[in-house]
């Protein structure tokens, strides 16, 4: 039987969905999570095949979480659940992504489980598009954890990875700098080809004796080189 994980921040909503799923007996409910980080932890532990995922949650939303899940090597199928999020519902319908409305009806739950599918990259791109990233999942020795975007100081392109320097240290992510730039949006500025800087941490653009430019960042001792081409534009924005 398929293993199912229920993700919703409301205990009563989880309880009801769990009871319905047990009655339907199509899947085995192996766990419940109240937010995105719990979900990521349980995902590694329990390896569920299908996720019943609430769209609106504190911290990272269900849509953003789904985008991260899609990058996993063997992502689970997803059934979205929402009370009334018009934009999300429009996107689900446009991309034929399975979703259920709260309060969930038993027959519809059965049908959605029957049809549940892994989302394609295209579907995910459309469904999660309006959501600006609030968290970045990073993997280190202690496992997968969610880094708040507001804690990121800068992102530096390496050969195969991107280094993320944040208030709590340094981590690696697999996403390319270009991809991150489009997903993180206007709060991050490109200072040269290989570096993206969080505006909130940018203190000054300085010019050294030999005529090259540097960016001074709060929380990082050594200055970051700035390309000549971008220096003027950056100074104007500061």
Partner 1 sequence: MKPLLLPDFCAPRAVLLVLVIITLTALLLTLAAPGPGPGFWGELARRQLFLIWVGLTGAALLCALRPYIAARGALTGALLVLAVVLLVVAAVSESAWWILHSALFNPSALLGRPPVTHSLFLARNLLIGAMVGALALRYAYVTQQWRLNVEAQARARSDALQARIRPHFLYNSMNTIAALTRSDPARAEEAVLDLTELFRANLDERRNLITLQEELENARTYLRIEQLRMGERLRVHWDVAALPMQAQIPALTLQPLLENAILHGVSKLPGGGEVHVDGNAADGALVLKVRNRMPLEGGGTHAGHGIALENIRERLSLLHGGRSSVTAGREGDEFVVQLRFPVVEAPRTNAG
Nearer to partner 1, 85 or 206 (CB): 85
Nearer to partner 1, 13 or 154 (CB): 13
Report if residue 149 touches partner 1, rule: CB under 8 A: yes
Nearest-approach distance from CB 9 to partner 1, in angstroms? 8
Nearest-approach distance from CB 99 to partner 1, in angstroms? 13
Of 198, 171, 169, nearest to 184 (Cα)?
198
Return the residue of 120, 140, 150, 176 that touches partner 1, per CB under 8 A: 150
Return the residue of 26, 75, 77, 85 that touches partner 1, per CB under 8 A: 85
Q: Token pair for residue 86?
A: 């018009």
Report if residue 12 touches partner 1, rule: CB under 8 A: yes
Return the residue of 21, 78, 104, 224 that touches partner 1, per CB under 8 A: 104
Return the residue of 6, 13, 173, 197 that touches partner 1, per CB under 8 A: 13
Of 198, 194, 183, nearest to 71 (Cα)?
183
Report if residue 118 touches partner 1, rule: CB under 8 A: no
Report if residue 59 touches partner 1, rule: CB under 8 A: yes
Nearest-approach distance from CB 102 to partner 1, in angstroms? 4
Nearest-approach distance from CB 105 to partner 1, in angstroms? 10
Q: State how far the Cα of 70 lies from the Cα of 126, in Å rounded to an integer.
A: 13
Of 236, 189, 194, nearest to 217 (Cα)?
189
* β-pair partners for 190: 196
| Distance linking the first and last C-alpha atoms of the chain | 57
Report if residue 145 touches partner 1, rule: CB under 8 A: no
| Region near partner 1 per CB under 8 A, out of 97-105, 160-168, 172-180, 215-223 | 97-105
Using CB under 8 A as the binding rule, the residues of this chain from 173 to 202 that contact partner 1 are none
Q: State how far the Cα of 40 lies from the Cα of 168, in Å rounded to an integer.
A: 20
Q: State how far the Cα of 154 lies from the Cα of 84, in Å rounded to an integer.
A: 36
Of 60, 67, 69, 56, nearest to 5 (Cα)?
69
| Region near partner 1 per CB under 8 A, out of 4-12, 66-74, 178-186, 225-233 | 4-12
Nearer to partner 1, 19 or 238 (CB): 19
DSSP string, 175-217: S-HHHHHHHHGGGEEEEETTEEEEGGGEEEEEE-TTS-EEEEE
**Are the C-beta atoms of 198 and 187 separated by less than 8 Å?**
yes
Residues that bind partner 1 (CB under 8 A): 9-13, 15-16, 19, 35, 56, 58-59, 83-85, 101-104, 132, 134, 148-150
């Amino acid at each position: 039987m398929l293993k199912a994980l229920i993700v919703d921040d409301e205990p009563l909503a989880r309880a009801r969905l769990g009871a319905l799923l047990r009655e339907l007996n199509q899947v085995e409910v192996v766990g419940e999570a109240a937010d995105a980080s719990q979900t990521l932890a349980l995902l590694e532990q329990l390896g569920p095949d299908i996720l019943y995922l609430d769209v609106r949650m504190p911290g990272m939303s269900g849509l953003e979480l789904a985008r991260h899940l899609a990058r996993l090597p063997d992502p689970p199928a997803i059934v979205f659940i929402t009370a009334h999020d018009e934009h999300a519902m429009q996107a689900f319908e446009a991309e034929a992504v399975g979703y259920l409305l709260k309060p969930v009806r038993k027959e519809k739950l059965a049908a959605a489980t029957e049809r549940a599918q892994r989302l394609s990259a295209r579907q995910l791109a459309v469904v999660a598009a309006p959501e600006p990233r609030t968290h970045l999942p990073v993997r280190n020795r202690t496992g997968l954890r969610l880094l708040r975007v507001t804690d990121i100081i800068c992102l530096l392109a390496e050969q195969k990875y991107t280094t993320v320097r944040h208030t709590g240290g340094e981590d690696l992510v697999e996403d390319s700098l270009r991809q991150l730039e489009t997903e993180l949006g206007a709060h991050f500025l490109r200072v040269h080809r290989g570096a993206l800087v969080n505006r909130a941490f940018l203190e000054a653009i300085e010019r050294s004796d030999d005529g090259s430019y540097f960016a001074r960042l709060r929380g990082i001792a050594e200055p970051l080189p700035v390309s000549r081409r971008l220096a003027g534009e950056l100074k104007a924005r500061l």
